[in-house]
Structure 1
């Protein structure tokens, strides 16, 4: 089985945790801060963090257009939390100076959970992953307001969380989606020790090579 090289955008966020998760899932994981490093990877992970800051840093490090170009060429990408926001074609409640990478035909609401609950955890049924429900950690997370016709919804917020809280307006909102070689989650699988999402992405990168 081939070992793909997967970059983790290393401008802000949970870089070390994603590198560890990708390595455990069978990839060679490398931090990406420069265009030359981006050019050498088979896939890219966009970690959580603060999406407006990350978009500005992409511009500062001259990675914005090169990354857009590679995504248009079909580079597999996985975005968690802020990474989902960056990959979305359209965002709600974003800042006017915020840059989008695009590549995922969804409308995403930024900080959708933030004003109600800054962070919470629940178990999710995740389509395509064996081994039962996935424990998901949400930290000032977005949700998908509207998925495009070609977007597969892999997981949604249950009406009642595994801790017994009613989800209210969040119930039924998509929080994990895939469109071709692009995967995104509202939550942070790199923080839980469950490597199944990273394993799925490693398999997607292998298939695309």
Structure 2
């Protein structure tokens, strides 16, 4: 019997891509013949992927490197393919439709119909780790070490044919510059807000095949979030 194989790529232009791959390997060590993990730096490598993760890092740098290496359009094409995507921290920003306080030369890929606010918790010194209960959407994961480093939050669900506008965070400075994606919305699913902190800030969401998290599961030593992504998004396709 032939075993179906999956290649999960991790965009490796900048950021914590090796950490993602290490945890994916740990999460699938009993199924190593079924899942393969690939550092993605070129359009040719992206074409080999059944799913893609965009890691934490520095969102502006990631966007600029992607543009310089001619990866923007291949990433847009990947979004249009409907294959699974997961963005953590900077990856969340890159996948969003609107970026509050974005840089003028920063790109938003528009994979998920949300607005995000960069550095919502403050600077590097304001980074923190918190044990969070994700059992509402991941069975039995009621204590997970969520690491927030200059993390963004989801400030708004944007209105589309499939979503009503829903403001999750009132912006103090309504004059903040907003970077908007140049790409048309192609996601025909409803945005689900997966996790909200006690202070009301939304730090995880999905829209169909697209998952985004403000925090860095890849910087913990806990592979349960990665295992869930494989089971819920990749192996289910």
Q: TM-score, normalised on structure 1? A: 0.89
Where do 5+ consecutive residues of structure 1 fail to align? 159-170
Deviations along 1:75-98, whole A, 9 cap, x unmatched? 211000000000000110101110
Output the CA distance in 2 between the equivalents of 1:7 and 1:55: 17
Output the CA distance in 2 between the equivalents of 1:21 and 1:102: 27
Contact 1:2 1:206 in 2 (8 A): no
Output the CA distance in 2 between the equivalents of 1:106 and 1:198: 22
Output the CA distance in 2 between the equivalents of 1:51 and 1:157: 23
Q: Secondary structure at the match of 1:78?
A: strand
The answer to which of 142-151 and 64-73 deviates more is 142-151
Aligned to 1:90: 98
Aligned to 2:126: 118
Asked which structure has the greater CA Rg, the reply is: 2
Aligned to 1:207: 236
Contact 2:93 2:152 in 1 (8 A): yes
Aligned to 1:47: 55
The answer to which of 189-198 and 41-50 deviates more is 189-198
Q: Secondary structure at the match of 1:6?
A: strand
Output the CA distance in 2 between the equivalents of 1:93 and 1:2: 43
Deviations along 1:99-134, whole A, 9 cap, x unmatched? 111111111001111249530111222232122132
Output the CA distance in 2 between the equivalents of 1:154 and 1:125: 11
Contact 1:124 1:156 in 2 (8 A): no
Where do 5+ consecutive residues of structure 2 fail to align? 29-34, 164-189
The answer to which of 93-102 and 124-133 deviates more is 124-133
Structure 1 segments of 4 or more deviating over 6 A?
Answer: none
Return the match for 1:21 from 23, 27, 34.
23
Q: What value does the CA root-mean-square deviation take over the aligned residues? A: 1.5
Output the CA distance in 2 between the equivalents of 1:80 and 1:9: 11
Output the CA distance in 2 between the equivalents of 1:119 and 1:10: 23
Q: TM-score, normalised on structure 2? A: 0.79
Output the CA distance in 1 between the equivalents of 2:8 and 2:102: 28
